[in-house]
Chains A and B, each alone.
Chain A
């Protein structure tokens, strides 16, 4: 018995009123002179955004637009050991009957909203390229999905939700696309459900593994003797910056998410700054409009479980949970797209160690939120991977996308 219900975002008037009240009492810190973005989100940006949020930003209009553009639903998904969680998702079918079912998995500080720009491109019918039936999952604890109430909701559980959702929608076989946490989660889907259900996966935030002489001799030699491309080097420099200077949020979220949660729950301005900093630092000079930023942050602010729930995933995957997923090699075909302003970059041979890599492309523009920043480039890569003659053509039986 399907528990699917159509869903429209409908934030209560009370919630909006409370937000307004808090913004009217907002207290801002000072800022050191001439520091730009070196110390964090700049004061003038945050003041301007907070001011717009209080007056000018029309949440109802954004809400309506989202409801119009994105067909949304909720349904109960049972997670072993955790009970049933009510999961929110976007689901839009292509008019191409045999379109490829694709599960899109977001990360932090993203949400289901990241499917917005790629959705029309994915479902678009054309003889020139494959089409997809698109499902964009709202991760448990994000957006309008319920959050788990017990500790221990790890990678396997997130993967289980994604997989069961696809099955519930009648997609026994499917492919996946993910970045940020979506990479880890779709990797786990590939490991646990790959072959039988997940038939291929694409990531814009892959994590590779150094090849070992004994385990992967050819790859190891390739790694030793292949010089890095400029694109590889650039991303590796970015990776170093991120590791040394960009992981404060990560470390806190991975160790004391509850402590941080008090701030995120109680201060809209605090939440705004916490997220905005990433929207700026992690993108390729993407020209964020204030309303765009505020819509992204509002999804966190008005989320079903509250913003504190969204950062617990960092804690749960520590202590080897994520590592165990990265050190295994899913057998299904994988495609990767690398964008220069993303946060992680490893030698390309490393991506071949722990994956069956059939497609890869380095881009010269774009950052961490590829689906939002450079939707055309991302979808083009998916089309290339899955098209007639492409390396993952026809992976889903009877659903070639044409």
Chain B
């Protein structure tokens, strides 16, 4: 018996009222002179955004637009060893009956919202490219999905939710696309459910480890192959992240509750915390204030509250899953798209060590961490190349090549 319910975002007036009151009482810190973005999210930006939040930003309009564009649902998903969680998701089928079922998995500080721009592109029908049935779930503890109430909800559990959701929707065989936590979660799905259910996976934030000494040919090749220019830039970017950008990761990975009091209580604090990443992880993406505030609002108005969303870091960091999962190599075909302003870019040989690489595009000259948002066309084009006729993952899902003509009305 399906528990699926259609869902429309409908934030209560109380919550909006409370937000207004908090913004009215908002206290800003000062800022050191001429410090730019070196010390964190710049004060001028935050002041401007708060001002707009108070006087111009129309959440109801954003809410209505989201509800109009994104067909949303909730349903209960059982998770072994945990309670049944009520999961929120976007589900849009293509008009092509034989479209490829695709699960899109977001990360932090993203959300289901990240599917917004790629949704029409993925579901579009054309003889020129494959079409997809798209499912974009809100991870447990994010957006309008319930959060687990017990500790120990690890990557395996997130993967279980994603997989069971696809099965529940009638997609016994499917492919996945993910970035940020979506990359690690879809990696786990490939490991746990690959072959039988997950047929191929694509990520825009590939992870991987150096070829081990035990694979001498790859190892030696890695040692002697000079890094490409892009790889060098990537290494520099990572070095920068390592030196400047890890604070959130370590705090969220060790004391998420402590941080959580601030995120729960201060809209401005939450805004600063997330906005800093929207700036530093993107390729000069021209964020509009409406875009930023919509992203933040999803966290502020989330079902479980913003604190729940950072616990994934604790569970992954403390358990060692972060390193452990990257050292494994799912056997199903993997595709990657690498964007120049991504947080970290590793040598191609590392990606090959940790995945069965059959498609890669590492020659993008624009774009960053939130590929589906920043460069939706480009990301979808890569998926078209990977899954389309003549592509390396064509027809991975038997009978669903993505080209079947639309069902007669």
Contacts and interface: CB of A to CB of B under 8 A. Distances in A.
B64 interface: no
**Interface size grouping (class) on chain A:** 35 or more
B276 A247 contact: no
Interface in B343-359: none
Contact of A273 (B32, B247, B262): B262
Interface string A243-272: 001111101111111111111111101111
B266 interface: yes
Contact of B151 (A34, A259, A315): A34
Contacts of A245: 254
Given A41-B258, A312-B39, A27 B29 contact: no
B253 interface: yes
Given A254-B247, A257-B40, A258-B43, A29 B257 contact: yes
B18 interface: yes
B262 A305 contact: no
Contacts of B26: 266
A225 interface: no
A21 interface: yes
Contacts of A261: 29, 40, 272
B256 interface: yes
Interface string B251-280: 111111111111111101111110010000
A29 B35 CA distance: 32
B314 A39 contact: yes
A263 B256 contact: no
A40 B243 contact: no
B237 to A, nearest CB: 15
B308 to A, nearest CB: 7
B27 A265 contact: yes
A262 B243 contact: no
A140 B257 CA distance: 30
B25 A262 contact: no
Contact of B261 (A34, A259, A273): A273
A35 to B, nearest CB: 5
Contact of B265 (A33, A38, A39, A269): A269
A27 to B, nearest CB: 5
Contacts of A269: 261-262, 265
Interface in B300-321: 304-308, 311, 314
B115 to A, nearest CB: 27
A274 B259 CA distance: 7
Contacts of B147: 30
Contacts of A33: 149-151
A169 B28 CA distance: 35
Contacts of B195: none
Interface of B: 18, 21-22, 25-35, 38-43, 46, 147-151, 243-248, 250-266, 268-273, 276, 304-308, 311, 314
11 contacts: A27-B18, A27-B305, A29-B264, A29-B306, A32-B311, A41-B255, A148-B32, A257-B40, A265-B27, A269-B261, A269-B262
